[in-house]
Amino acid sequence: EDGYNLWLRYQPLAPPAQAKLKGQARSIVLTAAATPTTRAAVAELQRGVAGMGGGPAPAQATAIADGALVLGTTASLPALDAALKTELSRLGSEGYLLRATRLQGRPVTLIAANTDIGLLYGAFAWLRATAAGTAPVAASSPKLQLRLLNHWDNLDRHVERGYAGASIWDWWALPEITDSRYTDYARANASLGINGTVLNNVNSKPEVLTPAYIAKAAAVADVLRPYGIKVFLSARFSTPLELKETDTADPLSPAVQAWWKKKADEIYRTIPDFGGFLVKANSEGQPGPQDYHRSHADGANMLAAALAPHHGIVMWRAFVYAPEAGKETDRARQAYEEFKPLDGKFAANVMVQVKNGAIDFQPREPFHPLFGAMPNTPLMMEFQITKEYLGFSTDIAYLGTMFEEVLESDTMQGAGKGPTVAQIIEGAHTLGGQPAATGMAGVANIGVDRNWTGHHFDQANWYAFGRLAWNPQASARAIAIEWAAQTFGNDARVTTPVVDMLMLSREAVVDYMTPLGLHHMMGTAHHHGPAPWVNDLERPDWNPVYYHRAARDGIGFDRTASGTNALEQYAPALARLYADPRTTPEKYLLWFHHLPWTYAMPSGRTLWAEIIHHYDRGVAAARDLQTRWDALRGVVDARRHAEVAQRLRRQVQNAQLWRNACIAYFQSVSGLPLPDGVAPPPQPLEYYKGIHFPYAPGRG
- CB 8 → ligand BDP: shortest distance, Å? 30
| Residue 268 or 542 having the CB closest to ligand BDP | 542
- CB 233 → ligand BDP: shortest distance, Å? 16
Residues annotated as catalytic (active site), given as ranges? 284, 360, 388
The contact mask relative to ligand BDP for 148-187 (x = CB under 6 A, - = no) is ------------xx--------------------------
| Residue 319 or 512 having the CB closest to ligand BDP | 319
CB crowding 577-592: b at 16 or more within 10 Å, else e: bbbebeebeeebbbbb
178, 203, 565, 667: which one binds ligand BDP (CB under 6 A): 203
Position 38: which residue type? T
Q: Which of residues 224-283 bind ligand BDP (CB under 6 A)?
A: 280
Residues binding ligand BDP: what is the number (CB under 6 A)? 11
- CB 525 → ligand BDP: shortest distance, Å? 8
CA distance 42 to 395: 38
- CB 389 → ligand BDP: shortest distance, Å? 8
Is the peptide bond between 684 and the residue preceding it cis, with omega within 30 degrees of 0?
A: no
CA distance 146 to 114: 18
| Residue 365 or 388 having the CB closest to ligand BDP | 388
CB 49 within 8 A of CB 21: yes
| Residue 360 or 511 having the CB closest to ligand BDP | 360
Q: Is the dihedral of CA 488, 490, 491, 494 positive or negative?
A: positive
CB 187 within 8 A of CB 230: no
153, 360, 404, 426: which one binds ligand BDP (CB under 6 A): 360
| Residue 147 or 280 having the CB closest to ligand BDP | 280
Three-state DSSP class for 313? strand
- CB 289 → ligand BDP: shortest distance, Å? 17
Is the peptide bond between 240 and the residue preceding it cis, with omega within 30 degrees of 0?
A: no
Q: Which of residues 363-422 bind ligand BDP (CB under 6 A)?
A: 388
Position 137: which residue type? V
- CB 152 → ligand BDP: shortest distance, Å? 7
Torsion, Cα of 544, 547, 548, 550 (10° steps): 80
Distances (CA, A) of 12 to 7, 191, 400, 620: 14, 19, 27, 37
Strand order in the sheet with 59-61: 59-61, 27-30, 68-73, 106-113, 96-103, 139-140
- CB 353 → ligand BDP: shortest distance, Å? 10
202 sits near ligand BDP (criterion: CB under 6 A)? yes
- CB 213 → ligand BDP: shortest distance, Å? 20
* Euclidean distance between the first and the last CA atom of the chain, given in angstroms as a whole number: 33
Residue number, nearest CB to ligand BDP: 700
| Residue 227 or 321 having the CB closest to ligand BDP | 321
| Residue 206 or 419 having the CB closest to ligand BDP | 206
Q: In terms of C-beta density within 10 A (0-12 exposed, 13-18 middle, 19 or more buried), how is residue 288 classed?
A: buried
520 sits near ligand BDP (criterion: CB under 6 A)? no
319 sits near ligand BDP (criterion: CB under 6 A)? yes
7, 346, 361, 463: which one binds ligand BDP (CB under 6 A): 361
Q: What are phi and psi of 440, to 5 degrees?
A: -145, 135
| Residue 383 or 470 having the CB closest to ligand BDP | 383
Q: What percentage of the chain's residues is helix, strand, coil (to nearest 5)?
A: 40, 10, 45
Task: Kindly list the residues in this chain that would bind ligand BDP in the complex (CB under 6 A).
Answer: 160-161, 202-203, 280, 284, 319, 360-361, 388, 700
